[in-house]
Amino acid sequence: MAGTSVRPAPFPPTPPTMPAAPDPSAAPATPPCERCLALADDPRRREPPACLALRGTAPVVTQSAAGVPYSMLSFCCRDCGTGWRLYDRANELFVSWVPERPLER
Ligand SMILES: [Zn+2]
């Protein structure tokens, strides 16, 4: 009769619950403003448009695959919310502005 031990039931497996996060690849509701479109047409100017706000405080300094050091600054447009990255390579006269997602015209 002895020998039958009842084990406590294991904890029920809890399924991983993922919070419903908004899809970051979803198209923005706000179309790009005129200044962002103008910046996309002239991505080598050094002066940011007045609508762009600097996101970080310090530039990210890194190296390209070819070993060329460059710094990167993140901006966000106050008007349309478009994110921009400003790449500034060493020994180059021009910078390059790259939108974080393609602008829709
Ligand atoms: Zn804008």
Asked whether residue 90 carries a pLDDT value surpassing 70, the answer given is yes
* 68 CA to centre of ligand 1 in angstroms: 30
Give distance in angstroms: CA of 105 to centre of ligand 1: 12
Compute, in angstroms, the gap from residue 82 CA to the centroid of ligand 1: 6
pLDDT band at 11 (very low <50, low <70, confident <90, very high): low
Residue 93 sits in which domain range?
A: 34-99
In a domain, 2, yes or no: no
pLDDT at 54: 94
Expressed in angstroms and rounded, the spacing between residue 39 Cα and the centre of ligand 1 is 9
Query: Looking at the domain assignment, is residue 12 inside a domain?
Result: no
62: in domain: yes
- For residue 16, being part of any structural domain is answered with no
**Ligand 1 center to residue 104 CA distance, Å?**
12
- Domains contained in the chain, number: 1
For residue 12, the CA-to-ligand 1 centroid distance in Å is 50
For residue range 19-68, list pLDDT tens digits in order. 665 555 555 468 999 999 999 999 999 899 999 999 977 888 988 888 88
In a domain, 58, yes or no: yes
* Strand ranges inside the chain, DSSP E: 52-54, 60-63, 69-77, 83-89, 96-99
Identify which of 81, 97, 88 has the alpha carbon closest to the alpha carbon of residue 33.
81
Tell me if 56 is assigned to some domain: yes
Rounded to the nearest angstrom, the distance between the alpha carbon of 14 and the centre of ligand 1 is 44
Distances (CA, A) of 68 to 35, 73, 87, 92: 30, 16, 12, 10
